Structures are given as C-alpha cells and as structure tokens.
Amino acid sequence: MYQLYINPPKSSWSLRPWILLKILDIPFEPKIVRYLANINEQRQQFSTFSATAKIPVLYDNELQIWDSLAIFEYIAEDHPQVWPKDKKARAWARSVCAEMHSGFEYLRNICDFRPLEKITLTEIPQQLEDELKRLNTIFAQGLQQF
Ligand SMILES: N[C@@H](CCC(=O)N[C@@H](CS)C(=O)NCC(=O)O)C(=O)O
C-alpha cells in the first residue's frame, strides 16, 4: 500500500495528493508529520524520509516520489482515471496543474495556507489581483469546456 507523508492542516502541497487518493478511493496509509519551530531540526527530521526535506512524499514500498506533480503522474501509471480520457481535456488538465505547480507566486505568498485562521488583507496588490482573475478564468473555462 502507498504511504503518504503529509501535514494536512498546514500544507496545501500535502493536500493535493491526499485529495486525489481520497477522491479516487485508492488505499494509502497517511504518515502525518508536523512542522517544528526550528526549521533546521525540521529539515533534518524530514530528510530521513524526503529527498528535499519537504512534503508531500509518496512511498510505494521502498520507492520514494517526492514532488506532488510527480506523485500524481506516478499514481496515474496504475490508475488511469487520474487524468481525463480525452486527449484535449487531458492536455488542458495537465497545463492547469503545471501552471498551478509553478505559478501563483503572489497568491501563495500573500494568502498563506492557513485554513483554520481568517486572514484579512489590508491591500490587494495588482499581481495578486491578476492571479485571482486568472484562477477565475481557469475555473470558468474548465466548467464551460468539460
Ligand atoms: N514542489 C514541491 C513543493 C513542496 C513544498 O514546498 N512543501 C512544503 C510544504 S507546504 C514544505 O515541505 N516545506 C518545508 C520546507 O520548506 O522546509 C511539491 O509539489 O511537492
């Protein structure tokens, strides 16, 4: 069975493969890890199971996959329902995932992932506004096309 190292309430990166496995009903063992106040200690601890000392990390027996998008692709090899069947829809889905994976810097930094807290912004910089618009476009396009 897969093992997935995650910190669910604190890490949006962790939630991505967790949601995927849950939605597709793929059995896995969650390995819950916690952030430490001392980042050096945390990295030392995380490096015992993660090549980058970051999470999420998936294990398939002794094989380690240490990046969320790589985890999706690895799971897709045995579970083709991860990506849409239709080639065009698949290309769109992959583009959106890659865009989210490597972009949205302002959203990520300004709207830090803290689902249990309310964050009040005193201003919305133009770059954040642009990223939010882009996000809305992606959702609208996806819903309309597929
Ligand atoms: N590109 C990586 C990013 C992983 C990442 O940044 N994880 C954060 C969790 S939110 C982390 O472990 N940070 C700890 C650190 O930076 O030392 C992925 O997609 O898995």
Q: Which is the closest atom of ligand 1 to the Cα of 7?
A: 9
Measured in Å, residue 95 CA sits from the centre of ligand 1 at: 20
Q: How confident is the model at residue 87 (pLDDT cuts 50, 70, 90)?
A: very high
- Determine the average pLDDT of the residues in 49-54: 98
> For residue 145, how many other CB atoms are within 10 A of its CB?
9
Which residue has the CA at smallest separation from atom 6 of ligand 1? 54
Per-residue pLDDT, 93: 97
The model's pTM is 0.92
Query: What sign results for the dihedral spanned by CA atoms 8, 16, 35, 57?
Result: positive
Per-residue pLDDT, 119: 80
Measured in Å, residue 68 CA sits from the centre of ligand 1 at: 9
Per-residue pLDDT, 112: 83
Q: Could you write out the DSSP letters of every residue in 30-60?
A: EEE----SSHHHHHHHHTTT-TTS-S-EEEE
Q: Would you call 110 helix, strand, or coil by DSSP?
A: helix
Which residue has the CA at smallest separation from atom 10 of ligand 1? 11
